[in-house]
Amino acid sequence: MIYIAAFALIGGAGLLIYMLKEAFADRIIYKELSFSEFPESFGEVKLFFISDIHRRLISDKIIAEIKGKEPDLVIIGGDLMEKGVPFEKVKKNVLLLMEVAPVYFVWGNNDYEVDFHQLDALLLECGVKILDNTALSFESQKGDRFVLIGTDDLSKDRERLDLALEDAGTGGFRVLVSHDPRIAKQIKKEHNIHLVLSGHTHGGQIHILGYSPYEKGRIKKLPETTILISNGYGTTGVPLRLGAKAETHFITLKNS
């Protein structure tokens, strides 16, 4: 019995170490996505997407690697922080990302646990563009448009996809950023949203015997659009992961 207890203790400690490693992994997933609708005049557009940072400090390793890849845009997919995270730490993360490329942000549910007016002011001070039911358009030399659309948090009933689409105007290749992937239920084919970037679910964070309330993060092709759901970079609750390793994303968009 003593040996069984010892093996169980060692096994439990090993699992805990493994779950900590999964939670604090510095992983960048590289993906090329080709669309027939993507304007050839842009060549390619490179995006670095990071969601659900929560309590983590972004590692120098990730910053150095993505700097070398020269992305066009950095996108924070919500839950930049949560209650109890010092604003100084948040500012450090934001400034690290600003070293890489212009930064764009959408609100997540945990961002509203704090003084969100203070967070809003911090982001504006750092030069971050907040997409809260708004859109930005980038134009190529040939007049083609790349449109970045962002909605406010769905779980707080603050999202207004209709306003964001109105701000986007007509036409263009469209990427929608929404913290909560359930925004996909509101998307119609005629919205011409080609890609959705989201997080929120943490990929389930901890899968017991392969089961969790949420599926692991992945890219899914839907009838109305394509959606990337990220496992996210940080954790909520306990700083542990199992079966849903921490991740960030480097996405290259091009014509097929």
The phi, psi pair for 196, rounded to 5°, reads -120, 135
User: What pLDDT, on the 0 to 100 scale, is given for residue 11?
Assistant: 61
Give the domain range for residue 114.
Answer: 1-255
Domain count, the chain: 1
Rounded to two decimals, what is the model's pTM? Answer: 0.94
Q: Where are the beta strands (DSSP E) in 41-199?
A: 44-50, 73-76, 103-105, 129-130, 134-139, 145-150, 173-177, 193-198
Residue 144, CA distances (Å) to 130, 169, 171, 250 in order: 23, 13, 9, 23
Which pLDDT score, from 0 to 100, does residue 210 have?
86
| Order of all β-strands in the sheet with 226-229 | 134-139, 145-150, 173-177, 193-198, 226-229, 218-221
pLDDT by position in tens, the chain (length 256): 443 443 344 467 889 999 999 999 999 999 999 999 999 999 999 999 999 999 999 999 999 999 999 999 999 999 999 999 999 999 999 999 999 999 999 999 999 999 999 999 999 999 999 999 999 999 999 999 999 999 999 999 999 999 999 999 999 999 999 999 999 999 999 999 999 999 999 999 999 988 899 999 999 999 999 999 999 999 999 999 999 999 999 999 999 9
**In this structure, what CATH number is given to the domain that contains residue 169?**
3.60.21.10
